[in-house]
Each structure stands twice: as structure tokens, then as C-alpha cells.
Amino acid sequence: MLKLSEIYIYPVKSLGGIALSKANITDRGLENDRRFMLVDVNGRFLSQREFPILAIFQTQIIDDGLVITHRKTGENLIVNLGKPQASKALKITVWDDEVGALEVSDEATQWFTEILGSPTRLVYMPEESHRKTDANYSLKGIEITSFSDGYPILIAGQESLNDLNNRLVSKVNINRFRPNLVFTGGEAFEEDAWHEFTIGGVRFFGVKPCARCIMTTIDQATGEKVGKEPLLTLNKFRKAGNKILFGQNVLISQLGAIAVGDSIEVKSRQKLAKFEIA
């Protein structure tokens, strides 16, 4: 039996995540997932790919506030979880997308700039800012996402992680892959083929296996790059074309609420990618 076992949100893109027991599904992803992001002086997004140290910023939601804590120093910043007040409107870029955003505050800009040692702004995606997902993998052409890499939800199976860890000398945690949803049951990597499925009765569509990058080699506890794993091993059995795949990108078909322990029913499947042996 397939069951939802873990739920995660990442309020600030590339910063530490929060484990939840339940979550609301909005039109652009899990509620409060990646609505904030750090950008440089040119408005370009920052991530752990270039700044692994971002992993050691922990996030926590308390009432209507988002608390961001630098785990090594204990310093923290508290910002309004909703739309910032009297903030500056900006145009920022996430990969190839230009997106409207709001600078959270001068205080937040100064806090991150001082810690990271270069001009850094914390920005927020307001409701009126709509960032569309890739039209090549769209259902209706109107799907949107937050500041995620490209899709509103990422799901991965515990059996997929178990299979990978059985091939590794040193096991890795699921947080290396920064999923929103993790499930138990079924076979390793079966999520690759999921198309239409429901979680607790809420309907979703898997549209594209997720291509992985150097972020999977960063220890989320220390903010340090620790060798070439798990990418090196994944490359040996999870390579399709020039992509290394782990997890499934998901589009939202129905708003609602989900909770850990919900059953998952796969309604339809799609053709699997062809994997190469490196």
C-alpha cells in the first residue's frame, strides 16, 4: 500500500526546510513553500549550487511570522509570513523566468548582506505574481509555481532512497533531494511512471522526472559539499540522456489538504524514461 510518509516545505528557496504533519495545497504548491527567495544585486536568484552555506539557515513558522536562524551563530531574523508592507517592487530572475517580486525590508537586506558578505535581498512572491510552469509539460497551459526550480511539487519514494543507499558506502538523507512529499510502499523509482494519482482524495499529475544537480552533494546539516555522491552513483543507473533523475515533478489538479498517513492511489501511468548504464 502506498502512503504519504513525510511532508516538507521550504519557505525560502535553498534555505532549510520544515517538516509538517499536514499541508494545504494551493495553486502554486504547498502553502508557504518557496514564496521567499534570496537574490543578488542584479536580481538573480541565489541557491546552494553556488552558496552551499545557505543550507545552515533554518526556517520556522510561528503564527504569522517566518523566523530565519543562522544555525552556527544563533542570529535570527523575523519577517511577516504574508505580503510585506511598504516594500519595493522588483523584477527578479529564476533560471530563464522574469518574475515580479517584493523586497521584504531594508532590515532583511542588511541582515543577509552582512552574513553572506555580498549585497543580498530577501524577496517575496505576492499573489498577483504568476510564474507559469514549462508549457511543454503543462496540462492546461495555466499552471503556476512559486520560486521552485520549475514545478510546484516534488515527490519521491522512500524505496527509491533505500535502493540508492544500498549502493552507497555512506548513506544519504532524503533532505539531499529536497522533496515536498515522500511516500512509503511500492517499488523503487515507481514514481517515475506516475501520471494521475490522488493523495487522500486530492488529485495530482506527475509530468516529468526531476533532473538532479550538484545540490545533492551538499550536506544539509553543515552546508558543506561532501564529495561527488550521490550523483556519482546515480549516474551509473539513473541517467537518461544527459540527465540524472531522482523524484517526480508534479502539477496540481485540485486544491485541498493532505496529511501524513494519507493513502495514495495511482490512477494512470506513463512511459518510463530509458536509462543508460554509465
Q: What is the CA radius of gyration of the chain?
A: 18
Cell matching residue 171: 548513506
Q: Beta strand 196-199 with 239-240: parallel, antiparallel or unpaired?
A: unpaired
What's the confidence (pLDDT) of residue 273?
A: 72
24: left (phi over 0), alpha (psi -120 to 50) or beta: beta
Nearest-angstrom CA–CA distance, 158 and 132: 29
For cell 517584493, name the residue. 102
How far apart are alpha carbons 20 and 200 in whole angstroms?
Answer: 16
pLDDT of residue 277: 54
Helix or strand or coil: residue 136?
A: helix
Domains plus CATH for the chain? 3-29+133-266 (2.40.33.20), 34-128 (no CATH)
Q: Could you say which residues of the chain have pLDDT below 50?
A: 278
